[in-house]
Structure 1
């Protein structure tokens, strides 16, 4: 693969799985009748054998799961922190002016084959895993057991589980690796001083990479 440039590629599986866990929400893309379709849904990476699968679910009314009955190819996109980069943050702007705006971002692409399940036991375990993952660390974490008897089971009948067996993971961390130290530090400072939470999140990603 010649693109993205090598310096932007992230290939460490542990880093990619950590990003998937932190981002949580995926854009799941499939092709139907020759045209791409996408649905947004939370997905969780779980180990299976010597690999990993992504778990998620959709409403039974969503036709996507029927497309997956034959084991269709799919792409799950996890969009992490991203931010516009103002050229004035580069010291180089004042020195020579040869700078332009850009966009920094983190994204993970998980390629694989999608299959559905309506097994009640699988769905119950999946919902528990998904909920526990997002509630972990909260002062008053919610669990499925907090709901009245029969409530979750009733809702569960209206969903279909999806699993994507990961065949390939691709990560892109475009965080000014091709700039010198002064420019990178200028961008970090500019983003960190922003009132936008997304800007500050990108500043943290860049600062972490400097360590």
Structure 2
């Protein structure tokens, strides 16, 4: 990933924030059939290993898990807040007319080694953690015990767990850090007015 120094993000807490705030990652693999990409919700354990651990599950019918008989090198892309930025949002544009359109965004590339975990206990744990996290904001959070044990068991048999030991993290936060403060804040105000609240907040304090 091309990352100019002023856009590079190396702080572990910021990289973890982006992953946790936008957990639907793009798992990129390269096998005998070439490149493949699968979009999966991941759980991050930042304290496991040197750089953390990602866990998820895939449908048993998905060949991605069969294409990795042992450990396989993979990359997972987590795309955070993002939006088009118009030059009209920069105050200086109206004075000098020396601004052009761009796109601001946050992204993390997690590189690591994928291991297949085709065992019921692991898969049940992954599903349980994902469920607790993403149901937490509901008035009456759904839990696996809401359904019969037989039904849940049959669903779990149709999925396979995956575990990715992270070997390195690349982060990029392109938030107009290369612009004058008034232009950066002007773009943030325009994004806020368009209900792009998350990106606007990040641009105010990049």
Number of the residue aligned with 1:193: 193
The alpha carbon displacement at 1:104 in A equals 0.1
Structure 1 stretch displaced more, 27-36 or 89-98? 27-36
Could you list the structure 1 runs, at least 4 aligned residues long, displaced by more than 3 angstroms after superposition.
none
Q: Distance in 2 between matches of 1:205 and 1:188?
A: 8
Corresponding residue SS for 1:69: coil
The alpha carbon displacement at 1:180 in A equals 0.7
Structure 2 unmatched ranges of 5 or more: none
Q: Distance in 2 between matches of 1:161 and 1:17?
A: 21
Structure 1 stretch displaced more, 60-69 or 42-51? 42-51
Q: Does structure 1 residue 127 correspond to structure 2 residue 130? A: no
Q: Distance in 1 between matches of 2:182 and 2:51?
A: 40
User: Is 2:109–2:171's contact at 8 Å kept on the other side of the alignment?
Assistant: yes
The alpha carbon displacement at 1:133 in A equals 1.5
Q: Structure 1's 32 and 201: CA in aligned 2 closer, same or farther, altered over 3 A?
A: same
Corresponding residue SS for 1:165: strand
Corresponding residue SS for 2:52: strand
TM-score by length of 1: 0.92
Structure 1 stretch displaced more, 15-24 or 93-102? 15-24
Corresponding residue SS for 2:66: helix
Q: Structure 1's 75 and 129: CA in aligned 2 closer, same or farther, altered over 3 A?
A: same
Q: Does structure 1 residue 114 correspond to structure 2 residue 111? A: no
Number of the residue aligned with 1:20: 19
Number of the residue aligned with 1:93: 93
Q: Distance in 2 between matches of 1:32 and 1:85?
A: 37
Q: Distance in 2 between matches of 1:152 and 1:168?
A: 35
TM-score by length of 2: 0.94
Q: Distance in 1 between matches of 2:205 and 2:139?
A: 27
Q: Distance in 2 between matches of 1:39 and 1:7?
A: 30
1:163-190 deviations in Å (ceiling 9; x for gaps): 1100001111000000011100110111
The alpha carbon displacement at 1:51 in A equals 4.2
- In angstroms, what is the RMSD of aligned CA positions? 1.5
Q: Distance in 1 between matches of 2:165 and 2:89?
A: 42
Number of the residue aligned with 1:181: 181
Q: Distance in 2 between matches of 1:69 and 1:33?
A: 12
Among 185, 190, 201, the residue aligned to 1:204: 201
Q: How many residues align?
A: 205
The alpha carbon displacement at 1:205 in A equals 2.0
1:98-122 deviations in Å (ceiling 9; x for gaps): 1000000011110001111111111
The alpha carbon displacement at 1:146 in A equals 1.6
